[in-house]
Every structure is written in C-alpha cells, then in structure tokens.
Structure 1
Amino acid sequence: MKRTLILIAVLFLSYVQAQQLAVLKYNGGGDWYSNPTAVPNLITYCNDHIGTQLNKEVAVVEPSSVSIFQYPYIHMTGHGNVVFNEADIQNLKNYLLSGGFLHIDDNYGMEPYLNKELVKLFPQKELVELPASHPIFNVYAKFPKGLPKIHEHQGQRPQAKGLFHEGRLVLLFTFESDLGDGWESPEVHNDPPEVRKKALDMGANIIKYVFTN
C-alpha cells in the first residue's frame, strides 16, 4: 500500500509540474529510436491545437527505471525485436496500474515480437480492438472509421488495440497505421499535408484522452 501511494504521488506531481512526454528505450535489438522528430512534432501540434502546455523536450526512459513514473504518457515504437526482463515487466506493470499510459506504435515489423512480451506483462489480459465509437477516436478530431491509415505496408487495415485495467485504458497498441511516420517532419517521408494532419489529429486525440481520462 505504501509503495502504491508513493507511485501515485509521483504521478500526481508530474501532472502538476511541467508535463513531459517520454520515449521508451527497450532491449532486444529493435530500433526504439526510430522516428526521432515524431513526438517533438506531436507535442508542438498539441500545444498549438488542444491547449496543452507540454515540455518540448522529450525524455528517454528505460522500462526498469523508476523515472518512468514522472511521465503520464510514454511512447514506444520500432521495427524489430522487443525483450522485457523481469525488472522491466514489474516496473511497467506498476506504472500502468498506478495511472500511467503506454502507447506502442508499430513502425512495421514489431507486432510478432511485442505480443509475446505483453503476455508477460498481463498474463490474464488480452488486447482488445477498440471500436470506432471509443472516445479516443472522437475526443478532439472525429475519426468515424477508427484509426486512420497513414502508411501502407501489406494492404492490411489499421487497428488500435488496448489493454484495460478496471475499465481504464492503460496501454494502446496501434499497428498497420504508422502514426509516428505521419508525425515526423514533412521532409522525412514527403507525406501530403492532409495525411500528416490525419496522423497529428489522431495523436492529439490520444494525448487529450490520456490527460482527461
């Protein structure tokens, strides 16, 4: 109980102080550092469009570090392998159950590696696809069909899946969409403005959902 109260206090302070987002530096060999301009651009977009006052500097955190409790939103991406050790699993689980939020955006190729690690994280829970009526698709911009398609890979439909604890969405997994590519600076992928806007609008939805639920 005492540990839980401490964790909640740390999270509360992170909301009261300058709010900062973080990127997860995980083990396994996957390129956790891909899309380096994505989260900074999303922060600027959210500050300009949904009234947030997010710190423009993005933190880098490891899953076993107690510092993850400072960040209400942690972003994870990449193309390859993901491995969580026992310390990672316990710390991430405590973070999520104490009010934190993890958004995993598959930059293509991460899904088969990630699934086996999520089983370790919550053995009794399964990823559930979010319906288009879920607030995360409507809280700022409206996405009546759910998660938008940003980049094409294998012709599969975009999906947003979540893990819930006591009715609260604690982990969001987006794949076959590539939101992070759409958040990157225009010259990186040369996406049309309307495609980048869809990606950033969906990102703003996620951030607004995190801070209001």
Structure 2
Amino acid sequence: MEAVELFEHPLFHGADQEALRRLLATLRPQLVRRGGRLSTLDAESVLVLVLRGRLRTYQLTPDGRELLLELIEAGGFDDILAARAQEGHFTDAEQDSTVVLVPLSLLEKVLLSEPRVALNLLRLMHERLHSREDHLEAMALHDPSRRLARQLLALGQTLGEEVDGWVVLNPRLTHQMLADMLGIRRETVTLHLHQLTAMGA
C-alpha cells in the first residue's frame, strides 16, 4: 500500500510515520464501487478509513424505508461492528471509494504505540458526534420546514463550501437523500423546500 496516501488521512496527522509503518504494513486499500456494501468478513469489528470517495450509512426502518444517518467524505471514518448488518445498519459506497479496513485489534496496538493517533481519533469522534447530534436535533423538530432548515444548516457546516457569498453543498443532495436523512417523504421535502425558498431562505 502507498503509505503516503494512508498517512494523509486525518487520523495520522502529526504522528510518527516511521513508527507506524511497520504496524500498518499489512493494510491494503480496497476499492468499493458505487452501491457496493462494506462488511467485515470475519468476527472482528473494523474501523473504516475513507481515503477517496464517499460512503453513506443508513438504517432500515421497520417498514423498509432507508433512514440516512451520515455521508462520510474522504478523510472520514466509519466503524463496522461484526454482524451489525443483522441489526439493520448498513454502509454503502455513495460513489467509487477507496477505503482501508483497520481491525480493532490492530487499532489498539497503534493507539498504544502512537498517542498522537489517539488524540486525532478523539477529535474525529467528537466532530462526528457533534454532527450526529445536529442531525438528531433536526429530526426531533415537528415542523418539517424547521427540520429541513436545521438539517441544511448542519450539512452546510460539514459539507458546505463558500462560493460568492453562498454556501454550496458538495456533493449536491437530492430531495430523496434529504428525505432519507429526516425520515420523511420526498414530496414533503420538495414542498417545504419551496416554502423555505419563498421565505427567502
């Protein structure tokens, strides 16, 4: 594996690369094609580092709808717990993606040998938790317009890029993706987006 590419992941920023090379030598990048599902083949849980592309995590509701939990960009991470798919949680590639699966047993050795990685992991987990809390808060609001506005603000903070004084979401999200994030119908999103636009939002 190209160690340079792996060490560009925020998990390893500021860490002693020479000390980690030996520990991480067995890791291999995996290309996951758009729509492909990530899973662990054995009983061990893994940390998924996204080097390129974008993943989406979602849960199936009892009535079979997808509830989008998170979009994970390059530089992000996900955890795949052994047999988690049986609980209705899934991670798929939103676009062709390059990932590295780090078994938790190896991650533990890395954290013990290089404290900087532990600090980086805490920071990344904090950012992810903050994003999830914003998502849950948006879902808790009863008024769909307020829920949608809150979700768009949160997405703007995590995925937005400022262009000519406007915040542009990259990637562009479909009405269906927004509906999946909020657990509502696509038609409801379309209606309330029009209402927000009419209000000057």
Normalising by the smaller structure, the TM-score range is under 0.3
Question: What's the TM-score once normalised by structure 1's chain length?
Answer: 0.23
- Structure showing greater radius of gyration is 2
Query: Which structure has the highest strand share of the two?
Result: 2
Query: Which structure has the highest helix share of the two?
Result: 2
